[in-house]
Amino acid sequence: MLINRTLDNRYTILELIGGGGMADVYRAHDKLLDRSVAVKILHKQFTHDEEFVSRFRREAQAAARLSHPNIVNIYDVGQDDDIYYIVMEYISGETLKEKIEREAPLPADTAVRIALEIADALGNAHSNNIVHCDIKPHNILLTKAGRVKVTDFGIARAVSSATITQSGLIIGSVHYFSPEQAKGSFVGAKSDIYSLGIVLYEMLTGTVPFKGETPISIAIKHLQEEPLMPRKINPAIPALAEAIVLKAIAKDPEQRFATIAEMDADLHLAQNYLRDDHTRRLSREDFPTQILPKLPIQEPIEQNVKPIPGDDRTKSVMTKRKQIIGVFALLLIGFVFGAFLSFGKFWSPDDVVVANVVGKQVDDAKNVLVSQNLRISISSVYDDKVPVGRVISQSPEAGTQVKEQRTITLIVSKGMEVTNAPDLRGMNRRDAELQLKNSGLALGTVEEQFVAEVPAGMVASQNPKPGSQVNKGSTVAIVISKGTGPRKFALPDFRGISQTALAGQMENLKLKIGNVSESPSDRYSPGTISAQNPAPGTEVQEGATVDFTVAKSPAAAIRRAAVQFIVPDGPLRQSVQVVVTDSNGRRIIYEGVHKPGERVDKIVEGIGQLRIQVYANGTLFQDQIL
């Protein structure tokens, strides 16, 4: 538990304020400077992973190079035992994600102002050859005064040519990373521009442009799909703000803003248009006074032009009119031909009501529709809820009245999307889990077994086997090798050794002491081992448990003796005690009050040598050894 722990005798951890996949962030008290700080601590499972530790240290090094009012300051970096930590400026406020979830969509002027401050922070980072690589609302802090602070340079990269190649891995947050990050290819300053565009899109609309059930499906949408226009989600978004978003999130980096400074300039322009009415006189649809280049003036085209012999301009107009008529005729012919293909005999007087074939096997659906004199077009898609070969949907829908020969489009299920199970053998658990995630699969049960042929900590086997076809989203169970099995050997003979020496020998052999009992023995000395289970010579393996019997003295015969004595002269009432000492120790076996001259007879018992002592009023007057 880290709460109340003090790191390096300086930073006392007070409370958890945030966390992520790589580290947790705590509020702490700096005892030296008497101030609140934020301490970012690497997760323990990564402390022995050189790659994660290197990435964690890189964040501190990258951010420490930056000094900007919109970037969280780095104060210190250190290691306390197995705890790696970064000490940062403590921001009392909230994340941009929390603000979006509470208030979205944000007013356009607020969204543009926040985007401007993020762009200013990125401008400072880019000028220092640092690409953030993980711009998202979760990494944007808002102070109580409203100032923006960019944090978490956990996967930032130092670059010399504004690009990076990161082979084999996809790094970043899937809803916000760029297409080039999704492909695992080069990452540069324009990747941050794309991510900032996604953040601005979310602030203005209240949603991210691409969603999906798995990270892979979202990454594919970044690569292949166009986002819904922001103004279709929120008509109040100014056209200029929408244009900035769309340029920033262009899939081709060459079509985005050339630099973050260029995007910053357009955001400032948008901010000018979004000033409140009391500070501006222009509506959002107006344009400010500006100098425009002289435009070429063209003669208006008259609607009714009469040809004049020898007039070249008239000939040109007539030629253009003929071209327009020709294009229109071609379009009309294309429309008629398309209507014929789509609707069949659209002039036919015969109407039919489309039957409901949703849920039917595709062959049965075809027969039903063909019997209605309709045509069929089939498209197949993956669907994990509809069995293979069954109709998911139809268009037009059931009950629609159409002409005969109309084409009915059927969407047929290909079942759950399948993929090939990757070969995880020889990987460590973390790499195997990442490989499964990239394949659209999940890690199932994990067992550990001794496998001599496979190094400890590596995947020895998997189920399903490598190359097997499996459904996307399904799990793959793995067996992790524990290395070679425990050593086997013949159990030594411990009989006759002392119980105190036994513990050391058992520890050296990596054996465990089980039940220990005592038993009288005339063969082994008291305190030594007289028996063991398993017996000497039995084959055991490291970690086995052995029970022992410890010898004690054999039972001695019980001796009896008669004690007779006359109470001596003295006081009229005398206290008499009979004391016996034997192998079991000293004890009083009789105590009473007698008169002088009385006779006392007692039988005493003991083990081994007996010593009998008689006391009268505390004075020993009889002592004998038997």
Cβ–Cβ under 8 Å, residues 369 and 408 = yes
First to last CA, the chain: 69
Cβ–Cβ under 8 Å, residues 88 and 30 = no
CATH fold of the domain at 418-481: Trypsin Inhibitor V; Chain A (3.30.10)
Stretch (H or E) spanning 125: helix 108-127
> 118: pLDDT confidence band, cut at 50, 70 and 90?
very high
How many CB atoms neighbour CB 227 within 10 A? 19
The neighbouring-strand residues paired with 53 are none
Average pLDDT for 103-130: 92
How many CB atoms neighbour CB 281 within 10 A? 9
Question: Domain 558-625 - what CATH class?
Answer: mainly beta
> Shortest CA distance to 258 belongs to which of 165, 162, 180?
162
* CA–CA separation, 286 and 379 (whole Å): 48
Helix pair 189-205, 260-273: axis angle to 10 deg: 30
How many CB atoms neighbour CB 297 within 10 A? 6
The neighbouring-strand residues paired with 35 are 30
> 338: pLDDT confidence band, cut at 50, 70 and 90?
low
User: Which residues are known catalytic residues?
Assistant: 134
CATH fold of the domain at 93-273: Transferase(Phosphotransferase); domain 1 (1.10.510)
3-class DSSP state for residue 562? strand
Cβ–Cβ under 8 Å, residues 410 and 367 = no
> Shortest CA distance to 519 belongs to which of 506, 510, 509, 528?
528
Cβ–Cβ under 8 Å, residues 424 and 430 = no
> 379: pLDDT confidence band, cut at 50, 70 and 90?
confident
Which of residues 328 and 194 earns the better pLDDT score?
194
Instruction: Evaluate if residue 315 carries a pLDDT over 80.
Output: no
Residue 525 DSSP label = -
Residue 506, C-beta contacts closer than 8 angstroms, at least 6 positions apart: 512, 513, 546
pLDDT of residue 481: 92
pLDDT of residue 306: 44
> Shortest CA distance to 556 belongs to which of 516, 526, 593, 591?
526
Question: Mean of the per-residue pLDDT values for the chain?
Answer: 81
Instruction: Estimate to the nearest angstrom the gap between the alpha carbon of 321 and the chain centroid.
Output: 65
pLDDT in tens, 391-402: 998 988 899 888
* CA–CA separation, 250 and 198 (whole Å): 10
Average pLDDT for 334-358: 63
pLDDT of residue 555: 58
> 417: pLDDT confidence band, cut at 50, 70 and 90?
confident
> 184: pLDDT confidence band, cut at 50, 70 and 90?
confident
pLDDT in tens, 550-582: 988 765 557 888 888 898 888 888 999 999 998
Which amino acid belongs to residue 146?
Answer: G
Instruction: Evaluate if residue 162 carries a pLDDT over 50.
Output: no
267 burial type by CB count under 10 A (0-12 exposed, 13-18 middle, 19+ buried): buried
How many CB atoms neighbour CB 49 within 10 A? 15
Residue 184 backbone class (left: φ over 0; alpha: ψ -120 to 50; beta: rest): left
b/e burial code for range 157-168 (CB count within 10 A of at least 16 → b): bebeeebbebee
* CA–CA separation, 453 and 324 (whole Å): 78
pLDDT in tens, 49-102: 777 777 667 666 766 778 888 998 888 888 888 888 889 889 888 899 999 999
Average pLDDT for 377-390: 84
Which of residues 585 and 284 earns the better pLDDT score?
585
> Shortest CA distance to 97 belongs to which of 180, 178, 18, 187?
18
Instruction: Evaluate if residue 420 carries a pLDDT over 90.
Output: no
pLDDT of residue 556: 58
3-class DSSP state for residue 329? helix
pLDDT of residue 330: 63
Phi, psi at 427, each rounded to 5°: -90, 155
> 344: pLDDT confidence band, cut at 50, 70 and 90?
very low
pLDDT in tens, 478-508: 999 988 878 888 999 999 999 888 988 998 8
* CA–CA separation, 560 and 101 (whole Å): 94
* CA–CA separation, 274 and 427 (whole Å): 55
Phi, psi at 32, each rounded to 5°: -70, -45
> 39: pLDDT confidence band, cut at 50, 70 and 90?
very high
118 burial type by CB count under 10 A (0-12 exposed, 13-18 middle, 19+ buried): buried
Say what the alpha-carbon torsion angle 257, 259, 265, 269 is, to the nearest 10 degrees: 10
> 6: pLDDT confidence band, cut at 50, 70 and 90?
very high
* CA–CA separation, 147 and 157 (whole Å): 25
Q: What's the half-sphere exposure (Cβ side, CA atoms, 13 Å) at 156?
A: 27
Which amino acid belongs to residue 401?
Answer: Q
Among 293-297, 330-334, 489-493, 549-553, whose mean pLDDT is lowest? 293-297
Cβ–Cβ under 8 Å, residues 153 and 130 = yes
Which of residues 343 and 121 earns the better pLDDT score?
121
Strand pairing report for 83-89 and 74-80: antiparallel
pLDDT in tens, 451-473: 888 888 999 999 999 988 888 88
Residue 600, C-beta contacts closer than 8 angstroms, at least 6 positions apart: 563, 564, 565, 566, 567, 576, 590, 592, 594
Average pLDDT for 237-251: 92
How many CB atoms neighbour CB 191 within 10 A? 27
Phi, psi at 544, each rounded to 5°: -70, 160
Q: Where exactly are the structural domains of the chain?
A: 6-89, 93-273, 351-413, 418-481, 488-552, 558-625
pLDDT above 70 covers a percentage of the chain that reads 82
Question: Domain 351-413 - what CATH class?
Answer: alpha beta
Cβ–Cβ under 8 Å, residues 404 and 348 = yes
Stretch (H or E) spanning 345: none
pLDDT of residue 404: 86
Fold equal for 6-89 and 488-552: no
* CA–CA separation, 81 and 282 (whole Å): 62
Helix pair 108-127, 239-248: axis angle to 10 deg: 30
Cβ–Cβ under 8 Å, residues 131 and 187 = yes
Strand pairing report for 351-353 and 401-403: antiparallel
Cβ–Cβ under 8 Å, residues 100 and 206 = yes
∠ Cα 48 125 174 (to 5°): 60
Cβ–Cβ under 8 Å, residues 611 and 625 = yes
Helix pair 429-438, 215-224: axis angle to 10 deg: 50
Top-ranked range on mean pLDDT: pick from 2-6, 245-249, 555-559: 245-249
pLDDT in tens, 227-240: 999 999 999 999 88
Which of residues 577 and 320 earns the better pLDDT score?
577
* CA–CA separation, 116 and 127 (whole Å): 16
> According to CATH, what is the number of the domain 488-552?
3.30.10.20
* CA–CA separation, 581 and 611 (whole Å): 5
Cβ–Cβ under 8 Å, residues 554 and 523 = no
pLDDT of residue 435: 84
Which amino acid belongs to residue 114?
Answer: I
Cβ–Cβ under 8 Å, residues 203 and 115 = yes
> 289: pLDDT confidence band, cut at 50, 70 and 90?
very low
Q: Return the CATH number of 6-89, one of 3.30.200.20, 3.50.50.60, 1.10.1130.10, 3.90.76.10.
A: 3.30.200.20
Phi, psi at 550, each rounded to 5°: -105, 135
pLDDT of residue 369: 92
Which of residues 80 and 300 earns the better pLDDT score?
80
Instruction: Estimate to the nearest angstrom the gap between the alpha carbon of 521 and the chain centroid.
Output: 63
